[in-house]
Amino acid sequence: MSSTAANAPPSTAPLTKGHKKVIFASSLGTVFEWYDFYLYGSLAVIIGKQFFGGLNETSQFIFALLAFAAGFAVRPFGALVFGRLGDMIGRKYTFLITIVLMGLSTFLVGILPSYATMGIAAPVILIVLRLLQGLALGGEYGGAATYVAEHAPNGKRGLYTSFIQTTATIGLFLSLLVIWACRNWLGKDDFEAWGWRIPFWFSVILLGVSVWIRMQLAESPLFQQMKAEGKTSKAPITESFFSRNGKIALLALLGATAGQAVVWYGGQFYSLFFLTKTLGMDPNQADILIAIALALATGGFILFGWLSDKIGRKKIVLAGCLIAVFTYFPVFKALTHNVNPALEAAVAASPVTVTADPDRCAFQFDPVGKAAFKQSCDVIKSALAKKGIPYINAAGPAGSLATVSIGGASLNSFEGEALDSATFKAQSEAFGKELSAALTTAGYPAKADPAQINKPMVIVLLTFLVLLVTMVYGPIAAWLVELFPTRIRYTSMSLPYHIGNGWFGGFLPFTAFAIVAATGDIYSGLWYPIIVAAMTVVIGALFLPETKDRDITL
């Protein structure tokens, strides 16, 4: 595969001042870049209203998540572009470019006029900026991880690179903290109207600090040596993916990063969406609880990075994926029990069933805001989705009018296809009031009651999810670095990482939410991360090697 197959004795040398500077500078810059990237995800609901105002409420949220995912979709292309530059001209200057691109794109999101001001141009420009952010992040992570790993002594790469691994969570934590401060300073109404822009403006300050810090760094010693010897790659992409290394890259994707990604995004992002969108928790409170869990569990990145130097990367990453496979359903059901017990009790006592002709039920996603979902089935499901009510689908006779049963009560929908807009709106509002009254009678809450939330237990559950994140993410950088030779390392490790995290992970919230909206089962979206994590366990266990004793300096 490469010269990295050689074994090397572990180093017992302590962290030097130079090593600490490299780790600190690389990690701090990457924290700020993740902060920029995750502001959008943390504010997806508000951004949906600001930039997709021409859509119905459900489509606003789904399209906001899709725009969020767009940034992840292009991360592999950023990995190719900037990975190639990093392997040809150097690690340092490449991730200077990426951080400037990220910071400027984030600031522009903060000054971009809304849909109400610019019309369709606003969401188009927003998506372009998200794509630029994704390209930048595609080049950032591989550069930072490679740079730190190439400074690390043998036997300590897991520990050294684990500091880079903390940056994504710290960046998310920082974004939640800034959002929380702005929301409480301005109040909910002002924050949603314009104050949500302040965290994006703040990124300019972080950009200046990050660029100044990274300018102080020297180039990676391994890259300098390779360049002095004339051994740099002239075609990193070809060598990485159209040679025997291509097989390793594919196995790294399916047997390591795909499962790591869905556990990462399931534990940190999907859990936040689940608390607010599904269980009706106040977003401010959800941010606080997630932030507490992140603060409690973030040390796990360092712990599992260090442990991977002792017992191996592979064992820890795959164990984290396997635990997620068996615990996701019970943990998310426990979140429901401890956040919104009234919803849990109502579902058990008075389940909601939608009976309709399957051929007369549309998938209610309209990216341009022009479709009208007026069939009787769509009327019911739209109303239930807006209220966050889980339901069971039952097939009705062909051509029949859709009905919804709530415990012992049953309501008939109406066909709106032949109605004009004003009449359809009036009947929809009347049906919504009738549905709300039936749900209230059956004990369904409009929102989670803060007095009934078991906060200590919710923190325990969220901390457990984040600890799984630290298991799969703490050792992953060292594992990927050690799989590939120095001359193509930046490119080779970046692509499987960003396809795994950008595609498998980044599309998790959108995919899971769409599955839930289609099935009515609030837990059905969990099948996506569970299946992907299970695949990674099998492929990684069978086909990927352990790498902790490899010498990457050869």
Q: How many residues does the chain have?
A: 554
At 355 the three-state DSSP class reads strand
DSSP string of 195-229, one letter each residue? GGGHHHHTHHHHHHHHHHHHHTPPPPHHHHHHHHT
Provide the β-strand partners of residue 160.
none
Maximum distance among all Cα pairs of the chain, rounded to whole angstroms: 80
Per-residue pLDDT, averaged over 284-296, amounts to: 89
| The pLDDT value given to residue 1 | 38
Residue 67 reports pLDDT greater than 90: no
SS3 for 164-195, per residue?
Answer: HHHHHHHHHHHHHHHHHHHHHHHCHHHHHHCH
pLDDT digits (tens, 9 = 90+) for 377-424: 888 887 887 777 889 999 999 989 999 999 888 999 988 888 887 888
Which residue has tokens 């901390």? 463
Q: Regarding predicted confidence, which is higher, 533 or 132?
A: 533
| Helices vs strands, H then E, count in the chain | 27, 4
Per-residue pLDDT, averaged over 313-336, amounts to: 97
Q: Regarding predicted confidence, which is higher, 554 or 413?
A: 413
**Percentage of residues of the chain with pLDDT beyond 90:** 33
Tell me how far CA of residue 447 lies from CA of 59, 282, 342, 344, in angstroms.
20, 8, 9, 12
Distance, in Å, from the CA atom of 175 to the CA atom of 359, rounded to the nearest integer, reads 43
Task: Give the closest residue to 102 by CA, choosing from 61, 76, 74, 134.
Answer: 134
| The pLDDT value given to residue 58 | 61
| The pLDDT value given to residue 291 | 85
| The pLDDT value given to residue 220 | 65
Residue 159 reports pLDDT greater than 70: yes
| The pLDDT value given to residue 18 | 59
Q: What domains does the chain contain, in order, with CATH numbers?
A: 12-340+450-543 (1.20.1250.20), 349-441 (3.40.30)
| The pLDDT value given to residue 268 | 82
Distance, in Å, from the CA atom of 181 to the CA atom of 248, rounded to the nearest integer, reads 45
Residue 261 reports pLDDT greater than 70: yes
Per-residue pLDDT, averaged over 33-55, amounts to: 76
Burial class (CB in 10 A: 0-12, 13-18, 19+), 15: middle
Distance, in Å, from the CA atom of 323 to the CA atom of 336, rounded to the nearest integer, reads 20
Q: Regarding predicted confidence, which is higher, 95 or 175?
A: 175
Q: Regarding predicted confidence, which is higher, 275 or 137?
A: 275
Per-residue pLDDT, averaged over 237-247, amounts to: 78
Q: In this structure, are strands 392-395 and 352-356 parallel, antiparallel, or unpaired?
A: parallel
Burial class (CB in 10 A: 0-12, 13-18, 19+), 536: buried
Average pLDDT of the chain is 83
Residue 45 reports pLDDT greater than 80: no
H helices of 391-441, where? 421-441
Split at pLDDT 50, 70, 90, the class of 337 is: very high
Per-residue pLDDT, averaged over 237-246, amounts to: 77
- Kindly report which listed range (31-35, 97-101, 168-172, 289-293) carries the lowest average pLDDT score: 31-35
**How far does Cα 32 stand from its chain's mean position?**
16
Q: State the CB neighbour count (10 A cutoff) for residue 466.
A: 27
Exposure b/e, 192-209, CB count within 10 A at least 16 = b? beebbbbbbebbeebbee
| The pLDDT value given to residue 230 | 67
Split at pLDDT 50, 70, 90, the class of 369 is: very low
Residue 59 reports pLDDT greater than 80: no
Split at pLDDT 50, 70, 90, the class of 51 is: confident
For the chain, report the end-to-end CA distance as a whole number of angstroms.
13
SS3 for 448-508, per residue?
Answer: CCHHHCCHHHHHHHHHHHHHHHHHHHCCHHHHHHHHCCHHHHHHHHHHHHHHHHHHHHCCH
Q: State the CB neighbour count (10 A cutoff) for residue 432.
A: 15
| The pLDDT value given to residue 150 | 79
Exposure b/e, 285-320, CB count within 10 A at least 16 = b? bbbbbbbbbbeebbebbbbbbbbbbeebbbebbbeb
| The pLDDT value given to residue 229 | 64
Q: Is the pTM of this model over 0.95?
A: no
| The pLDDT value given to residue 219 | 66
pLDDT digits (tens, 9 = 90+) for 106-145: 889 889 998 888 888 888 888 888 888 888 877 777 777 8
| The pLDDT value given to residue 223 | 67
| The pLDDT value given to residue 8 | 46
DSSP string of 7-56, one letter each residue? B-PPP-PPPPHHHHHHHHHHHHHHHHHHHHHHHHHHTHHHHHHHH-TTS-
Residue 252 reports pLDDT greater than 80: yes
Per-residue pLDDT, averaged over 298-305, amounts to: 94
Q: Regarding predicted confidence, which is higher, 365 or 326?
A: 326
Say if residues 127 and 108 touch (Cβ distance below 8 Å). no
Split at pLDDT 50, 70, 90, the class of 37 is: low
Say if residues 536 and 255 touch (Cβ distance below 8 Å). yes
pLDDT digits (tens, 9 = 90+) for 178-188: 888 998 899 88
Exposure b/e, 105-121, CB count within 10 A at least 16 = b? bbbbbbebebbeeeeee
Say if residues 382 and 373 touch (Cβ distance below 8 Å). yes
| The pLDDT value given to residue 332 | 96
Residue type, 297: A
pLDDT digits (tens, 9 = 90+) for 439-491: 999 999 989 999 999 999 999 999 999 999 999 999 999 999 899 887 788 78
Distance, in Å, from the CA atom of 380 to the CA atom of 359, rounded to the nearest integer, reads 15
Where are the extended beta strands (E) located within 301-440?
352-356, 392-395, 403-406, 409-412
Residue 3 reports pLDDT greater than 70: no
Say if residues 106 and 203 touch (Cβ distance below 8 Å). yes
pLDDT digits (tens, 9 = 90+) for 69-94: 777 778 888 888 887 887 777 777 78
Provide the β-strand partners of residue 403.
355, 412
Split at pLDDT 50, 70, 90, the class of 5 is: very low
